[in-house]
């Protein structure tokens, strides 16, 4: 404490030598704070404030409109009960199992495919400048466009199946989008198609950042290409994996529009994700408390996954 006081005391006279400079430098010190203040305040209110408000609402009996009387954890009790109703599946059970399937496959396939494409593109091939945007373009589309396009493509009466039947392959059968057990995998297909190009670009940037000397040294030591990637390149890409994982994880959690556009919820609501559940209960069914509770659970789940991962990754930096 005393050291801080001393340094300030020492610094102040220097600052005060010229009165004009003092005002300017103080302004310069303050400027970042002034500039950041509005967005900081907005974040505090609209993100953290509303998170608290949602938590509050989840303990009330809010229906159509918010109600402010705390009535206990009935919303959570209902969700808890629904969590174990697997036969016939409750909407909540369907939503969370779908989240597991979708989140796992979406992140895994996007990472694998993105890395694979990036490695292929990194072989100093001709026409890279043309190939790269082809893979990257899907990311420029909104989820709604992706959803509608894939909906038509996968529809047995309009798209792939119909076309192949017309070409003569009449035994071909692909109706996942109409099948309650497989509809969630069509969401994975459309999601992967959209995001994998972007992940490829991230990995490509990472690959370009690797020092060529290391590669050459490894080659001189007699490493095969596979060993080179397995032992050197992929470990060096670790920070890219972190960024890609975070981008993909939040895309997975918030993919509400993809499900709506692609499947309108699927047969019997079998394609719902927790975000669909939340919207449906809060705004369509006038069960705001249940909707809020589900949002809180989504947030807690996400925190439980992301925070330890960030912690373990970022802690190693000072080493």
Question: Applying CB under 8 A, which residues contact another protein?
Answer: 63-65, 78, 88-89, 91, 155-157, 175, 177-178, 180, 263-270, 280, 283-287
| Distance separating alpha carbons of residues 274 and 277, to the nearest angstrom | 5
Q: How far is the CB of 207 from another protein (least distance, A)?
A: 41
Q: How far is the CB of 237 from another protein (least distance, A)?
A: 40
Of the pair 68, 311, the CB lying nearest another protein is at: 68
Of the pair 121, 278, the CB lying nearest another protein is at: 278
Q: How far is the CB of 191 from another protein (least distance, A)?
A: 18
Of the pair 117, 287, the CB lying nearest another protein is at: 287
Q: How far is the CB of 138 from another protein (least distance, A)?
A: 23
Written as six digits, the tokens of 15 are 């600052």
Signed CA dihedral, 273, 279, 280, 286: sign only: positive
Q: What does DSSP assign to residue 90?
A: P
| Distance separating alpha carbons of residues 216 and 167, to the nearest angstrom | 51
| Distance separating alpha carbons of residues 90 and 73, to the nearest angstrom | 19
Of the pair 177, 273, the CB lying nearest another protein is at: 177
Of the pair 197, 266, the CB lying nearest another protein is at: 266
Q: Compute CA distances 10 → 2, 3, 18, 171, whole Å.
A: 12, 10, 15, 86
Written as six digits, the tokens of 7 are 């340094």
| Distance separating alpha carbons of residues 300 and 77, to the nearest angstrom | 16
Q: How far is the CB of 291 from another protein (least distance, A)?
A: 11
């Amino acid at each position: 404490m005393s050291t801080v006081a001393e340094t300030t005391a020492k610094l102040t006279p220097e600052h005060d030598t010229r009165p004009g400079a003092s005002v300017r430098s103080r302004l310069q010190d303050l400027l970042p704070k002034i500039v950041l203040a509005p967005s900081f305040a907005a974040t505090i209110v609209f993100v953290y404030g509303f998170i608290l408000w949602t938590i509050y609402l989840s303990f009330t009996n809010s229906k159509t409109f918010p109600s402010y009387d705390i009535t206990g954890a009935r919303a959570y009790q209902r969700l808890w009960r629904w969590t174990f109703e697997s036969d016939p599946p409750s909407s909540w059970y369907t939503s969370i199992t779908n989240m597991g399937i979708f989140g796992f496959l979406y992140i895994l396939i996007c990472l694998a495919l993105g890395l694979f494409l990036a490695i292929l593109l990194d072989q100093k091939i001709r026409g890279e400048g043309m190939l790269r945007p082809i893979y990257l373009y899907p990311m420029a589309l909104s989820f709604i466009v992706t959803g509608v396009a894939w909906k038509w493509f996968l529809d047995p009466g309009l798209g792939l199946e119909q076309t192949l039947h017309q070409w003569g392959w009449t035994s071909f059968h692909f109706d996942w989008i109409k099948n309650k057990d497989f509809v969630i995998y069509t969401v994975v297909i459309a999601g992967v198609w959209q995001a994998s190009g972007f992940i490829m670009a991230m990995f490509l940037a990472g690959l370009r950042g690797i020092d060529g000397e290391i590669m050459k040294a490894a080659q001189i030591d007699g490493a095969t290409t596979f060993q080179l990637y397995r032992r050197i390149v992929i470990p060096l890409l670790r920070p890219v994996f972190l960024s890609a994982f975070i981008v993909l994880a939040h895309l997975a959690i918030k993919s509400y529009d993809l499900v709506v556009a692609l499947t309108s919820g699927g047969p019997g609501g079998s394609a719902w994700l927790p975000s669909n559940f939340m919207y449906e209960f809060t705004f369509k069914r006038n069960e705001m408390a249940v909707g809020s509770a589900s949002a809180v659970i989504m947030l807690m789940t996400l925190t439980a996954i992301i925070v330890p991962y960030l912690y373990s990754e970022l802690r190693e930096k000072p080493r």
